[in-house]
Amino acid sequence: MKIINFDTQKRGEKPANFSPFRERIHQIVFESDTPEGKLFDVVLLVMIFGSIVLLMLETVPSLQAKWGSTFHTLDWVVTIFFTIEYLVRLYCVYKPMKYATSFYGVIDIASILPAYLDFLFPGARSLMVVRSLRLMRLFRIFKMDIFLNQGNQLMLALRQSREKIFVFMFFVLLMVCIFGSIMYVVEHHANPDFSSIPTSIYWAIVTITTVGYGDISPVTGAGKFFASLIMIMGYAVIAVPTGIVTSSMVQLQRRNSAQHCQNCNKEGHDADAAYCKYCGTSLRK
């Protein structure tokens, strides 16, 4: 039932030539039961968080002008730290390939590679923001089991309804294509903002999701009339994904209480119930 597995848990079989030193390193880097492991995790989280803030501040022109060289130095400190960390992780796991291709392994390499790729493709470094995904370790490190559990329930509710969401998205895409084209026909003679069908579809998406930037808006009477129809329709449409997710969650809550009482055979007990609410028989056992 664990859907978001926040870190590789199963290490598999220990290789023959695996030294106690590597085992010790593994304990520090991957686990957080020992004081050293805990310390390492906290330092790592601080570094990740700091590096994200650093990445963002670098793009602010006024700060870049003032602290440019400091930012540059700190960037390399962080990158080298993460590179060493990645190599150490590879070194201390039983199966380096399995780690490297795991969810976390991919995020770890994706957090450092753009810094090196930047030599080849300037601008690539902004992609380092994927580092923020590393913050998901937070939940594991602080043993936030309840959050993990709730996150899993959320994911389960979304997964249960993924076909409904897919069908819904398909029809929304059809609708915005058709509405965008109609608005293009209606508006583009009078309104240079509706310059092409792709632009009109962008407008339809902005409208039907109720974002409504206003960078493009109808000016003709007919355009305003059609836009009103689309908005009113979007009203009913926005109710659909909410209905899908909510009914899925309500169902999940009921299923959590699908336990049968052994005495009276009734179900509908809460997850924390120890005794049948109908006949008082113990549910545990």
**Residues 103/10/31/146 CA torsion (nearest 10 deg):** 80
Q: Minimum CB separation from a second copy for residue 183, in Å?
A: 10
Burial of 41 (0-12, 13-18, 19+ CB in 10 A): buried
What is the identity of the amino acid at 77?
V
Query: In the complex, what is the shortest distance from the CB of residue 277 to a second copy, in angstroms, rounded to a whole number?
Result: 4
User: At closest approach, how far in Å is the CB of 117 from a second copy?
Assistant: 13
Nearest approach, Cβ of residue 242 and a second copy (Å): 4
The nearer residue to a second copy, 12 or 198, going by C-beta atoms, is 198
Residue closer to a second copy (CB basis): 71 or 94: 71
**Quick one: 18 or 67, whose CB is closer to a second copy?**
67
The whole-angstrom separation of Cα 21 and Cα 107 is 26
Instruction: Find where tokens 């006024």 sit.
Output: 62
| Residue whose CB is less far from a second copy, 88 or 245 | 245
Cβ-based nearer residue to a second copy, 22 or 188: 188
In terms of C-beta distances under 8 Å and separation of at least 24 residues, what long-range contacts does 199-207 make, across chains too? 201/176, 201/177, 204/175, 204/176, 204/177, 204/179, 204/180, 204/230, 205/176, 205/180, 207/231, 207/234
Residue that is written with structure tokens 């039907």 in the block: 208
- Residue 215's nearest CA partner among 191, 239, 249 is 191
Nearer to a second copy, 84 or 174 (CB): 174
Backbone angles phi, psi at 161, to 5 degrees: -105, 20
